[in-house]
Structure 1
Amino acid sequence: MFARVTPFKMKAGSRDAAIRDMQAMKEDIMALPGMQRFVNVMAEDGSGYVISLVESEEVSNANADKVAALWSRMRDHLESPPESAGFNVEADWAM
């Protein structure tokens, strides 16, 4: 499994609208090939991270254009375009 971790920062006052837009995009996000899990964490100031777990690095890389298109739908809320980093998943534990 492979993880993409993407830090982001929302513009002041756009946090609630961004959450609504993200929720409206759920089907498109979860339909990405190889998507296993999507986690979005955000502080009150609009800073946060998206952590997506995908089947493999190759599948994640192949999704790059689709992911960029999804982020572009959030452009009105973002201070700047986000940049992600990729990692091999060494543990994925849940209760």
Structure 2
Amino acid sequence: MLLYQLDFFLPAHMPVHDFTYPGLKALKRNDHMLQGAELLGLGVLRGPEDIVYDSQSNVLCMGCEDGRIKRVTLNNSVTENWINTGGRPLGLTLRDNECCRNC
């Protein structure tokens, strides 16, 4: 014989005023989002997927969809083709802080 007793359960009532709270409104447009931003390689870089920043030489290295890794010097916005991988580079990393200078 098995005896089992179920406890009596009364659900708590949810207050109606919790459903009528208007919440916070988010802005649809932020005019200051790109303040101080600079366009680099506009029309030259096709589909950059990964970006590595070398703070010592102030250079950005980017792997693009055409298989090239390109370097952009931030002081004068010069874009140069650095390496052609023959494929699509899917990831970049700094190696001993020399990825964009001496490799």
Asked if these proteins are the same fold (TM beyond 0.5), I'd say no
Whose strand fraction is larger, Structure 1's or Structure 2's? 1
Q: Pick the structure with greater CA Rg.
A: 2
Normalising by structure 1, report the TM-score: 0.29
Whose helix fraction is larger, Structure 1's or Structure 2's? 1
Normalising by structure 2, report the TM-score: 0.28
Higher relative contact order (CA 8 A, sep 6+): 1
